[in-house]
Chains A and B, each alone.
Chain A
């Protein structure tokens, strides 16, 4: 007997999905529409600045389609990790979009919001009480670092999402949540097999990425007492036991184990088989409950303020000797900065990357080939925008004219635009790879319900 059916429109809101596939999915009478709204995958900037990676217009146009679908199907619509990073402000941002759309479409809806952002004092106290444990690898953590973070979020799990579902909301806007919990929460509530609920959720978390046509987006997962079946909803997409099993490898350091709030899933003994109707049937995963209830933390702090410059070397001699040129130039510039700005290297960083030589891999690059031209990307980071911009202006003429040897005519390289320096603003870094132990699942989370 099927306990619940979850329709997943795509791996993330903002990436698009196939409309026909969504219709096919709705015809199958799902119990809930669940979609992810974020990730750390785009880097620390989103969490650090508390902003969305995707454009508001992309989010609004896709959310409109899903809100229409919900109104017709009369089932809850749920988004996790609102606005990429899932901060409180991004949950409210998602609510603004939702209210705007409800007004435009004349919908009356009940909205439940789940807030996942953490108060620094609470985190400091938890750290003192040794409720915070580091994962591997373990970045250094102390009270000062906690103080310096611009945003800290805890990843909600199935329990917090279930609390939201219990409010009877039409639309649930959750802050940072594990990709899987937005899918597993309902089947777990309805008595589906715990191992199967988490496993099915992991398989469907990226939508149709578990099928042979990833861009079609939509998949339907049917959960029951012994496992789950998954099916791609687009007519030109299908899941196979291999495509489904292979998704356990994706973005997962361990292909058999997945940690979640309150325990972990083990798929070592899972079985995958193709059913006649094009569905893939999976069972055999285990859920192992942990002794304490731990949630993962994410936090970012400001590293500094960055300014970059790009210069192109096309002259054959400079292309061949790009590494030597950069090394000589770098030493020369450091002396100039010391002399004219009275600044030493711990107060700023000046890095050169050779695009065309080893831009992407740096010291790991093994291939040696002669490029037509070399892009020299110069990255300046310091504690103040004014300092980074001042360094950029100071080094500008040397980037343009610095000669490889003393006895040659002054060269001029290519600056691709004016001004050649780009003020990149504030840059952030991830500083937490830790978990937080809670006395009860809602201790670090807050729920707000409203009707519009």
Chain B
């Protein structure tokens, strides 16, 4: 089985303010975009990120062949328990996920 990262051109994640994280999946082509829209299920992503399904927002942007996920941080940015201040490692989890 391949990974999501090998399938798409780029995945990045970043804070969207101190209380949210957003992940952008740049699919690179309309075919890959359609495949991922169809086969990447919210629950699988929510389980991976350990967020509640209803907290995970999904945007499909066909113009850019991009799928975007946003979710509230369990630990706000820079809190004593925060391990990744900019939220940029979340992308790695999606990138290494079986797909």
Contact = CB atoms under 8 A, between A and B. Distances in A.
A429 B93 contact: no
27 contacts: A40-B18, A42-B85, A43-B77, A44-B18, A44-B77, A136-B72, A139-B76, A246-B26, A249-B61, A249-B66, A250-B24, A251-B15, A253-B20, A254-B59, A254-B70, A255-B61, A359-B83, A360-B83, A361-B84, A361-B92, A361-B93, A363-B50, A364-B90, A366-B97, A367-B96, A430-B76, A430-B77
A433 interface: yes
Nearest to B89: A360
Please indicate which of the listed interface residues B17, B64, B70, B78 has the most CB atoms of chain A within 10 Å of its own CB: B78
B83 A349 contact: no
Contact of B16 (A253, A304, A359, A428): A253
Nearest to A433: B19
A364 B48 CA distance: 7
A303 B14 contact: no
Interface of A: 40-45, 135-137, 139, 242, 245-246, 249-256, 303-304, 306, 349, 351, 353, 359-364, 366-367, 379, 381, 427-430, 433
Interface in B56-86: 57, 59, 61, 63-64, 66, 68, 70, 72-73, 76-81, 83-86
A76 B42 CA distance: 48
Ordered nearest first, which 5 A-B pairs have the shortest CB separation? Answer: A43-B78, A253-B70, A253-B16, A44-B78, A137-B72
Contact of B79 (A41, A303, A306): A303
A250 B20 CA distance: 12
B14 A251 contact: yes
B20 A429 contact: no
B89 A361 contact: yes
A430 B15 contact: no
B77 to A, nearest CB: 6
Interface string B43-54: 000001110000
Contacts of A303: 79-80
Contacts of B16: 251-253
Nearest to B81: A351
Interface of B: 14-20, 22, 24, 26, 48-50, 57, 59, 61, 63-64, 66, 68, 70, 72-73, 76-81, 83-86, 89-90, 92-93, 96-97
B11 to A, nearest CB: 12
Nearest to B86: A41
B64 A41 contact: no
Given A255-B68, A361-B89, A366-B96, A349 B80 contact: yes
Given A44-B18, A251-B14, A246 B80 contact: no
Given A137-B72, A361-B93, A433-B18, A45 B66 contact: no
A383 to B, nearest CB: 12
Contacts of A137: 19, 72-73
B84 A429 contact: no
A42 B82 CA distance: 13
Contacts of B81: 351
A319 B13 CA distance: 30
A40 B17 contact: yes
A42 B18 CA distance: 9
Nearest to A48: B78
A315 to B, nearest CB: 25
Given A253-B70, A363-B50, 13 more contacts: A43-B85, A45-B78, A137-B72, A246-B24, A250-B14, A251-B14, A252-B22, A253-B20, A254-B57, A255-B61, A306-B80, A364-B49, A433-B17
A303 B78 CA distance: 11
A246 B72 contact: no
B93 A366 contact: yes
Contacts of B97: 366
Given A41-B15, A42-B85, A429 B59 contact: no
Given A360-B84, A364-B49, A253 B22 contact: yes
Contacts of A359: 83
Contact of A364 (B17, B24, B70, B93): B93
A129 B85 CA distance: 34
Given A304-B80, A361-B83, A366-B48, A245 B63 contact: yes
Given A254-B59, A254-B70, A429 B86 contact: no
Nearest to B72: A137
A40 B22 contact: no
